[in-house]
Amino acid sequence: MTSEPIVTATDLHRRYGEGDAAVDALDGVSVAFERGGFAAIMGPSGSGKSTLMHTLAGLDRPTSGSVMVDGIELADLDEDELTDLRRDKLGFIFQFFNLLPVLTAEENIVLPLSIAGRDPDPEWLNQLIEVVGLGDRRTHRPAELSGGQQQRVAVARALVSRPAVVFADEPTGNLDSTASAEVLRLLRQAVDEFGQTVVMVTHEPHAAAYADRLVVLRDGKVSHDGQAGDEGQVLELMKDAG
Amino acid sequence: MRKLILRGLAERRSRLAGVVLAVFLGVSLVAGSLVFTDTINASFDKLFERSLKGSDVVVTPREVVRQDTDEPPPFSDKLLTRVRRTDGVEAASGAIFAVVRLVDSKNENLGAGFAPNFVSSTVPKRFDPLTYTDGRAPRNGTETAIDSGTAERSGLKLGDSIGVAGDRSVQRYRVVGINEIDGTSFGGSSSATLTLPAAQRVAGREGKFDQLLIAGDDGVSAEALQARLSKVLPRSVRVETASQNAARETDEINEDFLGVLRTVLLVFGGVVTVVAAFLIFNTFSITVAQRIREFGLLRTLGASRRQILYAVVGESLAIAVVGSLAGLVGGVGAAIGLRTLFKAIGIDLPSSGTVFEPRTVVVALLVGLLVTVIASLVPALRATRVTPMAALLEAELPEARKRGKALPVITVILAAGGLALLLIGLFGGSTGGAAAGLMGGGAAAILFAVSLYSPKLVKPLAGVIGKPIERLRGLPGRLARENATRKPGRTAVTAAALMIGVALVTFVTVFASGISSSLANSIQKGVKADLIVQNSDGFSPVPAELPAEVARVRGVAETSSFGRVKAKVSGDKSKGQYVSGVQPTTLGRMFKLDFEQGSAAALRNMTDRQMMVRKSYAKDHGIDAGDTVTTLGANGRRARFRVVGVYEDEANVLSPLIVTMRAQVRDFGDRRVVGTYATVTRGADSGVVEDRVDSLLKKRYPSAEVFDQQGLQDEQESQVMPVLGLFYGLLALAIVVSLFGIANTLSLSIHERTRELGMLRAIGLSRRQQKRMIRYESVITALIGTVLGMALGVAFAALVSQPLEEDGFVLSYPILQLVVILILAALAGVLAAISPARRAAKLKVLEAVSYE
């Protein structure tokens, strides 16, 4: 594990609305995520954790401040270039599984590559499908899969293009505890075995405990940035923050 | 609840705009058809009424057999003396009113398109309906006055020369006046006024009149005068008051032409309305499905099923009112559009002032309201089945499971019933309107059956159509195909709306191509003559002196002329049947005739008391050689003919019954010729001879044209084109509505898939790819409808042409045109996707992914 950052945010501000009704979702956030690390972003509702992730992922533009992803300044990119960046350098996992119901599990997994018009590396694909444990589900449609299986498909989809960083937005928010644990173990495995960088937004302390590092946001500011520790330690941290 | 309806409408107004537009277009066309035909009707009525200004009673020939042209045989001028001697007649005058061809100084047509040209004679001032805007009435045989519309169209001024091609070679006159009938319109018709002797001569009616205009003494009512005159005049003329005459003339136009026109236009209006109904049904089905939680919530809060029903139907009612009222106003625009369309294909009808009958309002509103409400009823009923639980679960709408069993039965019954109606209409022996009604009803039922069955066809068709797109376009193509088959019912209804329009377009196209190839076939097979001379309109008579002059052209070996009259025939229930007077000795050298009974020799030796009958007519009416046929001519004369042969004329030019030309003159009172066929002398270049005939016609007979066989074929084909253009124009509207349907369905589906689209964009689908995906979905939907419609259209054409085969109809498949339709449909799909794709592109990725 190196300390070289792959995602760097510097003095990020994000303001919604104007005048008296204006809300500062991000109020001077500076944070860096190192390559090959598993970071969790936590914080109470309205703390700005989702906004931070959307801004880092190029889905939302900051009012001011800079975001660098893998050496690229996002502010310099236009809409189309941002789209290409998301396609080629980022992976996404959402709370609601967001699979295409019309495609099979395998087709959903290779979707980012299909969009780019590239063929998957079959060896990597097989390995990935093996890892997420969907070897016998390749040709099933999402409707034929359980919630946990669907989210594992989403994890595989996020990893398939070996992105610079995977952003996970509440990946376990809609799962029971067994399925949650499976998904989190997978993310951990991706970091440990494939050297993947993962940034996860969550509000569940037990989920954060899988991460190496914990960033806690409060009122649009970073209130904690350090080791994640186990679930108990996270809970303590959150208490302090809240 | 009312508040809820209005709020809901406001909320979804952009998505419901398509529905309003569809209702609007359907109602517009229905209202427009009525306004258009009512306006023409009123214009003719006004024209007829005003042209009889100053007359109390009018005498016209009585038509024993209703003729196609507006020209019953004229009557003797001796009747005028008899009228003048009648007690109570203050003044009377005879007039000529004849269909001719008016040409300019270069012998080019003055009239517009297909509109007829007339000459009329000057009448004494008290009867004269004309007012002169410039110059004066003609005073001698070299002068004429023309109507102001024609003067305007052609730029003719006083002192210019015009020609009148009537019953003799073109006669020239100097324009000394421009006139009009106040407040009326002639449409595209042209009219020239001549002095009475000049008019009689040019029309070939020396010593005859077409009309007597009569004014009574003061104190003698028109009715009393009519009664008196009826007693002294023969039965061969009709004695009417001026208003009776005008009313009858209008009625006849209604019966012959306007009625048919109105029906045809309303059928097209109906088609557009049905297509609109599909769109309405689909839109409501989708919006109801999307609002399932809302309905669930309402039910939880205590709303009854009835209230839910009212909410949905109330919404459709509001749309219906807005769309229908707008459509009513749009009807005036549609009427103008129809007039322009007709003008464009050469039919410029009189129009003075727009006529908006109360009946139009009632019909248009009823159509709009009923169609909308009925189309929304099924979705509304489905909404009532939503349980309160639906508010809590993200449930799919109960896809009408109960319908599942009944539906196939209904489909089969509809299809079978439709086919039965179609077949009865085709082969059941009914004629005209009844047969057309049966066939139309049958076709409609089959179309409905197919659209009910079509959800099952969506998947395989999308597979076939989508494969090449997928191969070429990768992921967007793949997703487009999958999305199109996601809700097969929805795609099916959307495609079915287009299917109707395409089926009709295909039917018309295939049928028109059949007509073309049949014409080619029949001319090639059946005509032996080298040159064919006929009126340039294809059916009217040629001048009486023309055949003899053609025969004298250098290089013409032989000619054979024939006429065509309408007569009542014993054993024939129709109002009138065509009889051709022919020159028996030469006929066989111009046409290839086969004789089922009798022989070529029997034809050559046919006497004036003998007749030959076309094979199909003989078969239908059970006539054999040796039978006697009795006819009643337009001149009121009865004649008996002995059948000496049954012939087959591949060219399909001659009438079902043929007699000698002398018999035509003697027994039917008509010496006019409609066709002169000629052979050229051996060794002569027929092209050169054709040029010689052509220059003769150009110089002396501008109403006639000469063709070789190929030219005749081209000419006949070109006469089908205007009607084809009209049908295409009207069907285009139905197709436009179905495109709105595609756009609407897509927009609604995209709205449903917001989150999915957001995810795709988040993981790197570009805007362009997203647009492409939506476009292909639209193209696939459009092509499904097109393929189904085309198959049905071809099948209908094949079926309907069956009974026509014995009349020489040859079905042919215009592959090229069908391919063009397919390509156009794909392009139409692209077009329909523009707005939904644009809306999808505006979708904010962030909002979409965080959208629940």
Examine the fold and report which residue of B241, B256, B278 is the final residue of a domain before the chain moves on.
B241
Are B561 and B701 in a shared domain? yes
**Does the pLDDT value for residue A154 go beyond 70?**
yes
Enter the tokens of residue B36. Answer: 């258009």
Examine the fold and report which residue of B714, B747, B779 is the final residue of a domain before the chain moves on.
B714
Tell me if B755 and A103 make a contact (CB, 8 A cut-off): no
A-chain residues near B766 (CB < 8 A): 80, 83-84, 87, 115
> Alpha carbon of A189 to those of A234, B281, B592: distances in Å?
21, 52, 92
CA distance B377 to B285: 10
- Of the listed ranges B192-196, B407-411, B782-786, the least confidently predicted one is B407-411
Structural element, H or E, at residue B112: none
B-chain residues near A119 (CB < 8 A): none
Output the CA angle B534-B536-B537, nearest 5 degrees. 105
Cβ neighbours, 10 Å, residue B220:
17
Are B689 and B741 in a shared domain? no
Are B795 and B775 in a shared domain? yes
B-chain residues near A96 (CB < 8 A): 755, 852
pLDDT tens, B137-184? 999 999 999 999 899 888 999 999 999 998 888 999 999 999 998 878
In angstroms, what separates the C-alpha of A52 from chain B's closest C-alpha? Answer: 12
In angstroms, what separates the C-alpha of A179 from chain B's closest C-alpha? Answer: 21
Tell me if B759 and A112 make a contact (CB, 8 A cut-off): no
Q: Which residue of A has its CA nearest to B773?
A: A115
> Alpha carbon of B135 to those of B67, B96, B176, B190, B197: distances in Å?
36, 22, 6, 18, 21
Question: Which residues make beta-bridge pairs with B237?
Answer: B61
**Does the pLDDT value for residue B238 go beyond 80?**
yes
**Does the pLDDT value for residue B401 go beyond 60?**
no
CA distance B43 to B149: 15
Q: In 3D, which of A197, A107, A92, A152 has the Cα closest to residue B762? A: A92
pLDDT tens, B55-95? 999 999 887 776 665 567 788 889 999 999 999 999 999 99
Predicted TM-score of the model (pTM): 0.82
Are B812 and B747 in a shared domain? yes
Q: What is the mean pLDDT of residues B676-686?
A: 92
Are B702 and B750 in a shared domain? no
Output the CA angle B68-B72-B78, nearest 5 degrees. 175
Structural element, H or E, at residue B358: helix B358-384
In angstroms, what separates the C-alpha of B282 from chain A's closest C-alpha? Answer: 22
Query: Is the separation of the CB atoms in A106 and A162 below 8 Å?
Result: no
Round the average pLDDT of chain B to a whole number and report it: 87
In angstroms, what separates the C-alpha of A185 from chain B's closest C-alpha? Answer: 23
Tell me if A112 and B767 make a contact (CB, 8 A cut-off): no
- The pLDDT-based confidence of A39 (bands split at 50, 70, 90) is very high
In a domain, B264, yes or no: no
Q: Angle at which helices B488-526 and B432-453 pack, to 10 degrees?
A: 140
Q: What is the domain extent for residue B603?
A: 522-714
In a domain, B822, yes or no: yes
Q: In 3D, which of B461, B467, B470 has the Cα closest to residue B499? A: B461
* Predicted pLDDT at B852: 45
- The pLDDT-based confidence of B502 (bands split at 50, 70, 90) is very high
Are B757 and B708 in a shared domain? no
Chain A with chain B: Cβ pairs closer than 8 A: 75
Split into its structural domains, chain A has a count of 1
pLDDT tens, B747-777? 888 888 888 888 888 888 888 888 989 999 9
pLDDT tens, B87-112? 999 999 999 999 899 999 888 888 77
In angstroms, what separates the C-alpha of B710 from chain A's closest C-alpha? Answer: 56
B-chain residues near A83 (CB < 8 A): 761, 764-767
Q: Is A29 helix (H, G, I), strand (E, B) or coil?
A: strand
pLDDT tens, B17-62? 888 888 999 999 999 999 999 999 888 888 888 888 889 999 998 8
The two beta strands, A38-42 and A198-201, are: parallel
Tell me if A116 and B764 make a contact (CB, 8 A cut-off): yes
Tell me if B755 and A157 make a contact (CB, 8 A cut-off): no
Tell me if A87 and B479 make a contact (CB, 8 A cut-off): no
**Does the pLDDT value for residue A80 go beyond 90?**
no
Are B725 and B783 in a shared domain? yes
CATH number, domain of A144, equals: 3.40.50.300
- The pLDDT-based confidence of B13 (bands split at 50, 70, 90) is confident
**Does the pLDDT value for residue A23 go beyond 90?**
no
Tell me if B764 and A94 make a contact (CB, 8 A cut-off): no
A-chain residues near B756 (CB < 8 A): 98, 100-101
Q: What is the domain extent for residue A175?
A: 35-62+75-241
**Does the pLDDT value for residue B415 go beyond 90?**
no
**Does the pLDDT value for residue B642 go beyond 90?**
yes
Bigger pLDDT: A116 or B708?
Answer: B708
Question: Which residues make beta-bridge pairs with B208?
Answer: B76
Are B757 and B704 in a shared domain? no
**Does the pLDDT value for residue B131 go beyond 70?**
yes
Sign of CA dihedral B238, B241, B244, B245: positive
Are B517 and B530 in a shared domain? no
Are B565 and B479 in a shared domain? no
Burial of residue B548 (CB within 10 Å: 0-12, 13-18, 19+) is exposed
Enter the tokens of residue B725. Answer: 């253009």
* Residues 819-848, chain B, touching A (beta carbon < 8 A): 845-846
Tell me if A83 and B763 make a contact (CB, 8 A cut-off): no
* Predicted pLDDT at A1: 43
Tell me if A88 and B846 make a contact (CB, 8 A cut-off): no
Cβ neighbours, 10 Å, residue B477:
22
Instruction: Give the residue from A16, A50, A54, A59 with the most B CB atoms within 10 Å of its CB, the best one to mutate.
Output: A59
CA distance B225 to B82: 14
pLDDT tens, A218-229? 888 888 888 777
Tell me if B482 and A83 make a contact (CB, 8 A cut-off): no
Output the CA angle B170-B173-B176, nearest 5 degrees. 155
- The pLDDT-based confidence of B429 (bands split at 50, 70, 90) is low
In a domain, A153, yes or no: yes
Chain A residues whose C-beta sits inside 8 Å of any chain B C-beta: 50, 54, 57, 59-60, 79-80, 83-84, 86-88, 90-92, 94, 96, 98, 100-103, 111-112, 114-117, 157, 169
In a domain, A11, yes or no: no
**Does the pLDDT value for residue B400 go beyond 70?**
no
A-chain residues near B769 (CB < 8 A): 115
Query: Is the separation of the CB atoms in B675 and B546 below 8 Å?
Result: no
Are B675 and B811 in a shared domain? no
In a domain, A67, yes or no: no
Tell me if A92 and B762 make a contact (CB, 8 A cut-off): yes
pLDDT above 90 as % of chain B: 41
Residue B405, CB-side half-sphere exposure with 13 Å CA sphere:
1
Are B669 and B789 in a shared domain? no
Tell me if chain A has a CB within 8 Å of the CB of B759. Answer: yes
In a domain, B445, yes or no: no
Closest in A50, A79, A87 to B763, CB measured: A87
Residue with tokens 């669907």: A150
B-chain residues near A141 (CB < 8 A): none
In a domain, B355, yes or no: no
In angstroms, what separates the C-alpha of A85 from chain B's closest C-alpha? Answer: 7
Instruction: Please report the ipTM that was assigned to this predicted complex.
Output: 0.83
Q: What is the mean pLDDT of residues B274-299?
A: 84
Closest in B474, B483, B759 to A102, CB measured: B483
Q: Any idea what DSSP says for residue B604?
A: H
Round the average pLDDT of chain A to a whole number and report it: 86
DSSP conformation letters of A45-101: TTSSHHHHHHHHTTSS--SEEEEEETTEEGGG--HHHHHHHHHHHEEEE-SS----T
A-chain residues near B846 (CB < 8 A): 54, 59-60
Split into its structural domains, chain B has a count of 3
CA distance A151 to A98: 9
A-chain residues near B458 (CB < 8 A): none
Bigger pLDDT: B494 or B435?
Answer: B494
Q: What is the mean pLDDT of residues A203-218?
A: 87
Q: What is the mean pLDDT of residues B185-207?
A: 90
Closest in A57, A94, A115 to B475, CB measured: A115
pLDDT tens, B579-622? 999 999 999 999 999 999 999 999 999 999 999 999 989 988 99
Tell me if A94 and B849 make a contact (CB, 8 A cut-off): yes
Query: Is the separation of the CB atoms in B533 and B545 below 8 Å?
Result: no
Tell me if A50 and B474 make a contact (CB, 8 A cut-off): no
Closest in B474, B767, B845 to A59, CB measured: B845
* Residues 468-527, chain B, touching A (beta carbon < 8 A): 474-475, 478-479, 482-483, 486
Tell me if chain A has a CB within 8 Å of the CB of B601. Answer: no
Closest in B474, B482, B762 to A59, CB measured: B762
**Does the pLDDT value for residue B2 go beyond 70?**
no
Enter the tokens of residue B522. Answer: 């029949």
**Does the pLDDT value for residue A232 go beyond 80?**
no
In angstroms, what separates the C-alpha of A174 from chain B's closest C-alpha? Answer: 13
* Predicted pLDDT at B172: 94
Query: Is the separation of the CB atoms in B372 and B316 below 8 Å?
Result: yes
Examine the fold and report which residue of B652, B686, B714 is the final residue of a domain before the chain moves on.
B714
Instruction: Give the residue from B763, B767, B843 with the most A CB atoms within 10 Å of its CB, the best one to mutate.
Output: B763
* Predicted pLDDT at B402: 46
* Predicted pLDDT at B147: 93
**C-alpha of B818 from chain center:** 22
In angstroms, what separates the C-alpha of B844 from chain A's closest C-alpha? Answer: 9
